[in-house]
Amino acid sequence: MAPEAVLETVGLGVRYGETRVIEDISLTIPKRRVVAFIGPSGCGKSTLLRCFNRMNDLVPTARVTGQVLFRGRDLYAPGVEPADVRRAIGMVFQKPNPFPKSIFENIAFGLRINGFQDDIGDRVEASLRAAALWDEVSHRLDADALGLSAGQQQRLCIARALAVEPEVLLMDEPASALDPIATGRMEDLIGELRGGYTIVIVTHNMQQAARISDDTAFLYMGELVEYKETQRLFTNPEDERTEAYITGRRG
Amino acid sequence: MSPGAPRGGRFDPRLEARRRAGVRFMWLCRLAVAFGVASLVVLLVSLAADGLPALSFEFLTSYPSRFPERAGVRSAILGSAWMLALVAVMSFPLGVGAALYLEEYAPTNRFTTLLKTNIANLASVPSIVYGILGLAVFVRFLALERSLLAGAATLSLLVLPIVNIAAREAIRAVPDSLREAAYALGATRWQAIRHHVLPAAMPGILSGTILGLSRAGGETAPLLIIGALTFIAFDPLSPMDPFTALPIQIFNWTTDPRGEFHALAAGAIVVLLGVLLMMNAAAILIRNRFER
């Protein structure tokens, strides 16, 4: 009764120049689950995340080996259009990166470039509501997005990503630049999106992973050490490296 | 509770058209590069064809002459070398010093804003205007006569805004976190500048300075205005000596009705280009050492 897989990696490896960042990683991301990647800095969790929407293409020295399957299709096969991949698999970054334009335009951009046929204003509102930002900005959609607080900017980035209807949302430490209150709201938001979306989130914060995710993968030195239901991973780790990391003895 | 993410909108992504638009634009950019490269190749090939036959050891070491087979660029090379050295010595400290003041010390108010805007305007003043200014101020008023010093001072006026603007941009590009790190350890403003801001900005400052010097090395009009001589049959030995320079020599030879001198002009252009290229190469080496 394994749930349907949305993303699957087969023997995935990434090198930056001569440096091997991740090696031989095979895992599946089940549909409509929240999956957390945890592990010490430099373990390759962000690199792994960036394989899912071909963000590593932007690093000239990056070499990807193995396969990344999205609904059974290899994302790295010839003829696959990265722009197409990235609309279906959205991403939110560590540091909020709104465009230096109005709140409205931040969301409208993705709609326009993807040929959105319905009313853009309606979709902007729906996206802001989904990101729990509408009540705070509904009266000033024309205001500069950079005038928002960091937490609001990050929720705007999520709204922007949701607007183009991705199937998967990748989040690379989305709360690490936020204060505890904004972090709490971000976690609430992920909780609300849970069940409707497949979310893959990289986090440094183990309590956060425990709170918000269904499944957790522990990576260590470019290797997938352990990957199972979050609750089981935190209460009953099998690998001693996992145990050492989650109990704070190493990492 | 969030109302849930929007779904079911109609999209018409037209991926193939977007991809093709991207490819078209890349080819336009490639065309732009090809245009630049092709122009450069045509220029270099035609210059080499005209100029290389004139080049010889004698050409580099002979003084100008009214006999084309005996004429050379010795005094012009020496004049240009003197000139560039003097311009560098004058414009670098003045341009960088002013840039440091404007960016690191001066308060931001209407006066300094006005000053910065007008320095940008100075950079676009035609060089011949600086020549007239140099003639009035350096040659006549300060009585420097038609010396290397007067010429270099005139060209420095031209180069100063370029150096200043490049230096200011380089200094502005130094992240504030670097200044804060220095201040937080108890550094004075000068210590922060001396040890951190200036080294970080130095590659950009040097690039701008070399750009300015290259400009000075190729300038003809202001030197003609202040009356640089075109027939110098001796080596300039001090900043007060009269002089000629490579662009002046080229100008002089191209305006000569006798065709033999045109080939010499092409040869001198090759020499001038060679000198400027070597300067740029030196600049890149220096910059790389600073960047490490």
pLDDT digits (tens, 9 = 90+) for A57-103: 888 899 999 999 999 999 999 989 899 999 999 999 999 999 999 99
Q: Give residue B234's pLDDT band: very low, low, confident or very high (50, 70, 90).
A: confident
Closest-approach residue (CA) in chain A for B15: A84
- What's the pLDDT score for residue B1? 41
Distance of residue A80 Cα from the nearest chain B Cα, in angstroms: 11
10 Å Cβ neighbour count for A148?
21
Distance of residue A230 Cα from the nearest chain B Cα, in angstroms: 24
- CB contacts of A109 in chain B (<8 Å) are none
Q: Give residue B230's pLDDT band: very low, low, confident or very high (50, 70, 90).
A: low
Pick from A81, A118, A193: CB nearest B15: A81
Contacts 24+ apart (CB under 8 A), B268-272: B268/B51, B268/B54, B268/B73, B268/B76, B269/B47, B269/B51, B270/B47, B270/B48, B270/B51, B270/B52, B270/B54, B270/B55, B271/B55, B271/B60, B271/B73, B271/B77, B271/B246, B272/B80, B272/B217, B272/B218, B272/B246, B272/B247
Pick from A83, A117, A163: CB nearest B6: A163
10 Å Cβ neighbour count for A99?
15
- CB contacts of B13 in chain A (<8 Å) are 84, 87, 114-115
State the Rg of chain A over Cα.
Answer: 18
Distance of residue B268 Cα from the nearest chain A Cα, in angstroms: 43
Amino acid at B74: R
B259 or A57, higher pLDDT: A57
Distance of residue A189 Cα from the nearest chain B Cα, in angstroms: 8
For chain A, the 3-state helix, strand and coil shares in percent, each to the nearest 5, are 40, 30, 30
Residue A40 phi/psi, 5° resolution?
-65, 165
At CB < 8 Å, which residues of chain A contact B?
A: 81, 83-84, 87, 113-118, 123, 126-127, 129-132, 162-165, 189, 192-193, 196-197
Pick from A115, A189, A192: CB nearest B13: A115
CB B190, CB B97: distance < 8 Å: no
Q: Give residue B292's pLDDT band: very low, low, confident or very high (50, 70, 90).
A: low
Does the pLDDT of residue B103 top 60, yes or no?
yes
End-to-end Cα spacing for chain B: 54
Q: Give residue A147's pLDDT band: very low, low, confident or very high (50, 70, 90).
A: very high
Pick from B2, B3, B13: CB nearest A189: B2
Q: Which site among A116, A124, A169 would you substitute to test the B interface, given the most B Cβ atoms closer than 10 Å to its Cβ? A: A116
- B 12-71: CB under 8 A from A: 12-15, 18-19
- CB contacts of B12 in chain A (<8 Å) are 115-117
- What's the pLDDT score for residue A2? 62
Whether B15 sits inside 8 A of A132 (CB atoms) is no
Multiple choice CATH, B60-290, 1.10.3470.10, 3.30.70.270, 3.40.50.720, 1.10.3720.10: 1.10.3720.10
Nearest to B95 by CA among B201, B182, B175, B183: B201
Pick from B1, B9, B10: CB nearest A192: B1
- Cα atoms in the Cβ-side hemisphere of radius 13 Å centred on A135: 4
Does the pLDDT of residue B207 top 80, yes or no?
yes
Burial (CB count <10 Å: 0-12, 13-18, 19+), residue A62: middle
In b/e form, how buried is each residue of B70-93, taking b as 16+ CB within 10 angstroms? Answer: ebbbbbbbbbbebbbebbbebbbe
Does the pLDDT of residue A243 top 60, yes or no?
yes
B257 touches chain A (CB under 8 A): no
Q: Which site among A107, A114, A119 would you substitute to test the B interface, given the most B Cβ atoms closer than 10 Å to its Cβ? A: A114
Dist. CA B234–CA B64, nearest whole Å: 9
Pick from B3, B9, B15: CB nearest A123: B9
- CB contacts of B7 in chain A (<8 Å) are 165
Q: Which two tokens stand for residue B222?
A: 């202001």
B85 or B54, higher pLDDT: B85
Pick from A84, A117, A130: CB nearest B4: A130
> What are the DSSP calls for B220-253, one per residue?
-HHHHHTT--S---S---STTSB---HHHHHHHH
Dist. CA A6–CA A29, nearest whole Å: 6
Average pLDDT of the residues of chain A: 93
Whether A123 sits inside 8 A of B6 (CB atoms) is yes
Domain ranges of chain B: 60-290
Task: Please give the C-alpha separations between residue B63 and each of A152, B49, B50, B233, B236, in angstroms, as whole numbers.
Answer: 74, 23, 21, 5, 12
Pick from B3, B11, B15: CB nearest A117: B11
Q: Which two tokens stand for residue A91?
A: 């991403």
Average of per-residue pLDDT across A175-204: 92
Distance of residue B10 Cα from the nearest chain A Cα, in angstroms: 5
Distance of residue A222 Cα from the nearest chain B Cα, in angstroms: 30
Average pLDDT of the residues of chain B: 88
- What's the pLDDT score for residue A1? 44
- What's the pLDDT score for residue A250? 61
Average of per-residue pLDDT across B174-181: 93
What confidence tens digit (pLDDT) does each residue in A9-42 have? 999 999 999 999 999 999 999 999 999 999 998 8
Nearest to B151 by CA among B97, B65, B221, B77: B221
Closest-approach residue (CA) in chain B for A162: B5
Does the pLDDT of residue B290 top 80, yes or no?
no
Dist. CA A103–CA A141, nearest whole Å: 5
- What's the pLDDT score for residue A242? 93
Q: Which site among A165, A190, A193 would you substitute to test the B interface, given the most B Cβ atoms closer than 10 Å to its Cβ? A: A165
